[in-house]
Amino acid sequence: MFSGHVSKRRKFVADGKEWYLEYEIHKNRPGLLGEVSSLLGMLGIDILTINGVDHERRGLLVLVRDEAQIRRFLAAVRTMETIHLTKARIPTLGDRLAVRHGRYLERDLGDKKTFLFVRNEIGLLVDFMAELFKMPSHPLIGIRGMPRVGKSESIIAASVSANKRWIFISSTLLSQTIRTRLSKDERSPENVFVIDGSVSRLRGSEAHWDLIRELMRHQLSIVVEHPDNFVGMAGCSLDDFNYILELRNQRNEHIPFENEIQSPDKQWSDLN
């Protein structure tokens, strides 16, 4: 399935160790990036990815064969007046996404598990969710946002990226659906289970909520749209969520935490 080139690349990465380096530019001038890249090359450190990650900052994902290479780089970079090294560490998920997308994830100042996105950053949101779906811990994720901002579409795209099957327990995306039963194949812990909290609260039968409570008792990847409308009915609280994601059309858009629930115009299908 994979070419010999890819296989060698994977072995090469496995034999080394990835590090994240970030520096702040004090005196920007032509050739500065080349100097940093040349220094890394002379030390035998391979650059995997490089990008601007903030105003006057660059982030690099590099591959080293031993930590002595990093120590020599740190010693050399301290002598450079044009840059100041701000980070040198084993890369976190946030570091990898920052290098890929050119900016760090934005967190809510009052709640560190809440991450903020706007619609033109939807690629960053999709990549972040995809990485969460790959976690063996199967996190419980809530996603807030106004109607038609792209919540369900982002979940589907993230599932595809993570090579996961998504299962709608309640949804208004294509046909408005409420599930009361799942097949054995659908119950796989490798799937992503998607619940629209507002839909379930408005239309969910007791059988529907029994299914939700059963899923919540297991270690599964569950994403809840409109989590504030969901928690009271599900017997859990927002503290039980591992991550809360907020998606806005514009950065200053207000999201009501308990959205007004209105009856849908279309017929609902109760899938058994």
61 C-beta neighbours (distance < 10 Å), count:
20
Q: Which residue has the higher pLDDT, 70 or 271?
A: 70
- Amino acid found at 133: F
Contacts 24+ apart (CB under 8 A), 27-34: 27/81, 27/82, 28/56, 28/82, 29/82, 32/82, 32/83, 33/58
To the question of domain 4-100 being in CATH 3.30.470.30, the answer is: no
Q: Residue 29: pLDDT above 80?
A: no
Q: What local confidence, expressed as pLDDT, does residue 33 receive? A: 87
What is the 3-state secondary structure of 61-109?
A: EEEECCHHHHHHHHHHHCCCCCEEEEEEECCCHHHHHHHHHCCCCEEEC
Task: State mean pLDDT over 22-47.
Answer: 90
- Amino acid found at 126: V
Q: What local confidence, expressed as pLDDT, does residue 4 receive? A: 31
163 C-beta neighbours (distance < 10 Å), count:
10
Residue 259's closest CA among 114, 111, 115, 145? 145
At 70-120, the pLDDT tens digits run: 999 999 999 988 899 999 999 999 999 999 999 899 998 888 899 999 999
Q: What local confidence, expressed as pLDDT, does residue 129 receive? A: 97
Parse the chain into domains and list their residue ranges: 4-100, 105-271
Strand, helix or coil at 261? coil
DSSP string computed for 7-34 = HHHHHHHHHSEEEEEEEEESS--TTHHH
Lowest mean pLDDT among 35-39, 89-93, 174-178, 191-195: 174-178
Contacts of 195 (CB under 8 A, 6+ apart): 169, 170, 212, 222, 223, 224, 225, 230
Of all residues in the chain, the percent with pLDDT exceeding 70 is 89
Q: How far apart are CA 141 and CA 116, in angstroms?
A: 13
Q: What local confidence, expressed as pLDDT, does residue 109 receive? A: 85
Contacts of 142 (CB under 8 A, 6+ apart): 223, 224, 225, 227, 230, 238, 241, 243, 244, 245
C-beta separation of 81 from 14 below 8 A? no
Strand partners, 243: 141
Alpha carbons within 13 A on the beta-carbon side of 53: 24
In the numeric block, which tokens belong to residue 174? 């294509």
CATH topology for the 105-271 domain: Rossmann fold (3.40.50)
Q: What local confidence, expressed as pLDDT, does residue 258 receive? A: 62
At 113-165, the pLDDT tens digits run: 999 999 999 999 999 999 999 999 999 999 999 988 999 999 999 999 999 99
- Amino acid found at 254: H
Alpha helices in 102-219 (DSSP H): 122-133, 151-161, 197-203, 206-216
Phi-psi region at 247: left, alpha or beta (left = phi > 0; alpha = psi -120 to 50): beta
Q: What local confidence, expressed as pLDDT, does residue 51 receive? A: 92
Q: How far apart are CA 69 and CA 52, in angstroms?
A: 23
Q: What local confidence, expressed as pLDDT, does residue 268 receive? A: 39
At 58-74, the pLDDT tens digits run: 999 999 998 899 999 99
Residue 256 main-chain phi, psi, to 5 deg: -65, 130
Q: Residue 182: pLDDT above 70?
A: yes
Q: Residue 259: pLDDT above 60?
A: no
Q: How far apart are CA 66 and CA 153, in angstroms?
A: 42
C-beta separation of 152 from 252 below 8 A? no
Lowest mean pLDDT among 5-19, 125-139, 225-239: 5-19
